[in-house]
Structure formats: C-alpha cells, structure tokens
Structure 1
Amino acid sequence: MFTQDMIASFNELETSLYNYISQNADKVAYMRIRELADETHVSTATILRFCRKINCEGFSEFKVKLKMHLEGNKKTVLKGSQHSVMEFFERTLKGDIEENIRDAANLVVQADSVIFIGIGSSGILAEYGARYLSSLGKFSMYIKDPHFPIHSKLRYNSVTIALSVSGENSFTVTHLNQLKQEDSKIISITNHKHSTIAKISDINIPYYVTEEWYEGANITTQVPVIYILESMAREMYKLNR
C-alpha cells in the first residue's frame, strides 16, 4: 500500500503517522480521523496531507484502501503437503508427462552441455537440477545472470532447461530468448502449458498444481519439479547405458 517513493516523501510527523498505521492497521481501519489524530499526537490537517501523499482524496478513501489491503493480506490457510502431492499425481500422471520426460531426456542425451535457468525458488531448483544431472555424467551448469559470458563451445549443441511456476517471469523469458537465438534447444518445466515460456519451448513439461501465495510470495509446492528433474536425469542415464 505504501510505495518507497511515498515513504521517502514523508516529513517527520508523517513518518511517525506511517509507523503507527503500519503497526496498528487493523485498528486504524475503523477509527475516526479525530481518534487517529489523538492517538498519534498530530493534527487532522497532517493526516489529510498524509492521505493526499498516498493518492487518497481524504481519510474516508484512505480507510477503504486500507481495508482492501488488509483483506488481500489475510493469512493463507496452507494445504497439507500430502494434498499438493496427491493433486499432482491425480492431475498430471494420468496425462502424457512420462512421454514428455522421455522426449526431454532424449534431447539432453544428444546435447553436449545443459544450461539451467530460473530465479527465486525456481532458481534454487535449477541449481539442484544442474548438480543432479552432472552427478549422472551430463555436464550441466546453472546460470542466473543473462549477461554471464558463455563460451561458444558450451553454447554449441546445448539444451537449456528453464524452470518457472508461472511461466511468465520477464527475467527468465528474456534470458530464454537470448539462449534460443543462439540455437540452444529449450525444455521448460512450468505449472501449465499456456504460458509464454511454455509456448517458446521445444518441449514443455507442465505439472498442474494449485498455485499458493502468502503475503505476495509464491509458495506453490515444488515437489513436482523435483520429481520431473530426477525422472528426466534417470531416464537420461538409462539412455546413455
């Protein structure tokens, strides 16, 4: 609700008002302007000036926005991990995921090197995937910087494996586009097949679980991604033998 630019524009009184609201948002949402003025020891004029700085015409509009903000930040009731895993198996394993994994493994076997990309929790799993494939004999590396110099010998006959829950992360899309222009084959692992990353991939492996968010952070289970990465690596190992 409060942006960095808004906070930077506050004077000393407005900053103290901001601190009080941040710590007592549930209470402030139902206070009258005079009650808030008494609690924070500022004038009603200061409160109205504060409201205008955060793009509200008055205190009433501010309270409406504050209530909407609080409603959006209600604590999430997290599903049990067993529920998420069962959802994955029920929705996905009835489809053609195993065939997609075999096709991806075939592509990896034919490549000289494998490049993993992803950010956030997907980046952590991308690093894990690179380590796992390398442990089974396929040279793999995780790159999180789109400007990281990759020697032409590594780009030649390479496969890029992109991980993204939404499949719409602009950073990953940009990075993927650069690698695609260098003729790297693209395998993506996303939550559904209708995303941008899925559409620009040579092979997409979707896993279809319900996305979960908590205070703006995507906490969707990553168990399906681990299953897909390990299955792909083991299939690659069998093909090599």
Structure 2
Amino acid sequence: MFTDRIIKSFNELDYVLFNYISQNAEKVIYMRIRELAAETHVSTATILRFCKKLDCEGFSEFKVKLKLYLEKEAHIHLKSTRHTLTEFVERTLKGAFESYIQETADLISKCNQVIFLGIGSSGIMAQYGARHFSSLGTFSLHITDPFFPIYTQQLNASVTIALSVSGETPQIIDLIKKLKEEGSTIVSITNHKNCSIAKISDLNIAYYVTEEYINDSNITTQIPVVYILESIARELHKIRHS
C-alpha cells in the first residue's frame, strides 16, 4: 500500500501520519478524521492531502483501502514444513538425486578446494555448507559478498557449489562467470533446472518445491538444500576414506 515512490514523496507531517498509521492500523480503520488529527497533532487538511498522495479521494476511501490491505495480509497462508518436506521427499524418490549426489562427490574428490556461493538465505546455506564440508575434512570457503573480487590462478582445481532458489540472481550469475573463467567447475543447486544458473553450470541439482513469497521476500524452504549438501558431504567422506 505504501510504495517506495509514495513514501519518498512524504513531507515531515506525512511521516508523522505514516508512522502512527503503521503502528495503529487496526485502530485507524475505525477512527474519524478528527480523531486521527487529534492523535497525531496534525490538521484534517494535512490528513486529506496525505490521502491524496495515496490516490484516495478522501479519508473514508483511505480507510477502505487500509482495511482491504490488512485483510489481504491476514490471509497469507504458508504451507506447513511437514507438507513441504513430504513434497520434496516424494520427488526425491522419483528423481535421480542419488546419481547427482554421487557425481558431485566424485568431482569434489578430485579437487583441492570447494567454494560455496550464495547471497541472502542462500548465503546462509553457503556458510553452512562450507562449515559442514570442512568438518568432514574437505577444505571449503564461502562467498556471500556479491562484489567479491575473483582474480586468482588457484581455482583450476576447485569446485564451486552455487546456491540460488530462483536460479536467476544476477550477482550470482556474474560470480559464476568469473569463477568459470578462472577454471572452477560449477555445480549449482536450484529449485528448478529451467533457469540461467542451471544452464551455465557444469552440473545442476534441482529440488523442485513450491516457491513462497511474502511481499518481495522469498521464504521458500531451505530444507532440500540442507539435505543435498549433507548428502554430498557424507558421500565425499566415504570416497576419501574407502
């Protein structure tokens, strides 16, 4: 409802109203304009100008839009973790996960280092992957900075594991290109194979779960990523100790 464009147009009094409404939205939808003016210490004319900036003809229309917005937010239903896990397990049993995991472990067993790549929630998974692999005896690093400088001659014997739910993260794509140029083998873990990152990788593992968003935030579960990373690490440990 309050877009970046609209918020940037606010003056000092508008911000007073915005802050109050943000914290008391459930109360505001039942208030009269004079009651809101008294609570915020602004004039009714200021409130009407504020409403116009939100494309509302008056305070009544603003309250209707605010109420609809609150109802929409209240009706966001997230899938249960159990449902998501069941969905993933069913697809895993039907797919070629074991062969992909084996192939990735074989690749890593022949290299000197593993680089985990990701930003946002995938960046957290990259950190976890590097820690987990290192704990099992494989030297690993993680890159979560989208502007990390990659200029080295020591990557021709490395494997990069790139993590991205959408597979379209521009910063990750740029880093993958640089790593490939330096000779690193790219293994990507994405939610589906029909994405840019999968297509530019040497090997892709896709886990296919329903993506979930709240506003602009991708809250898709990372359970499949944890499973895949741990499975690769354990398979790698078996290879190196067989």
The question of a shared fold, defined as TM-score above 0.5 by the shorter chain, is answered with: yes
Matched, 1:194 2:194: yes
Please state how far the C-alpha of 1:68 moved relative to its aligned partner: 5.3
Partner of 1:205: 205
Partner SS for 2:208 = coil
- In 1, the alpha carbon distance for the partners of 2:182 and 2:237 equals 26
Deviation at 1:189, TM superposition (A): 0.9
How far apart are the structure 2 equivalents of 1:23 and 1:132? Answer: 42
Map 1:17-32 → 2, pairs under 5 A: 17-26=17-26, 28-29=28-29
Match of 1:40 in 2: 37
- The answer to whether residue 88 in structure 2 is matched with residue 88 in structure 1 is yes
Give distance in 1, aligned partners of 2:61 and 2:35: 20
Tell me what 1:109 maps to: 109
Match of 1:234 in 2: 234
Distance 1:111 1:215, change over 3 A: same
SS at 1:183's partner residue? coil
The separation in 2 between residues aligned to 1:165 and 1:117, in whole angstroms, is 12
Please name the residue that 2:57 is paired with.
58
The residue number in structure 2 matching 1:49 is 49
Task: Assess if the C-alpha contact under 8 Å between 1:117 and 1:160 holds in 2.
Answer: yes
CA contact (8 A) 1:212 1:218 kept: yes
Find the aligned partners of 1:204 and 1:98 in 2 and give their Cα distance. Answer: 13
Query: Take 1:91 and 1:131, find their aligned partners in 2: how far apart are those partners?
Result: 27
SS of the aligned residue for 1:107 comes to helix
Asked if 1 retains the 8 angstrom alpha-carbon contact of 2:116 and 2:140, the reply is yes
Question: Match of 1:162?
Answer: 162
**Distance between the aligned counterparts of 2:27 and 2:146, measured in 1?**
46
Q: Which runs of 4+ in 1 moved over 6 A?
A: none
- SS of alignment partner, residue 201 of structure 2: coil
Give the number of equivalent residue pairs. Answer: 237
Match of 2:144 in 1: 144
Structure 1 Cα separation of the partners of residues 13 and 185 of structure 2: 57
Alpha-carbon separation, structure 1, partners of 2:169 and 2:210? 18
Is residue 126–residue 144 contact of structure 2 (8 Å, CA) maintained in 1?
A: no
Gaps of 5+ in 2: none
TM-score, length of structure 1 as denominator length: 0.83
| Distance change (3 Å), C-alpha of 1:200 and 1:58 | farther
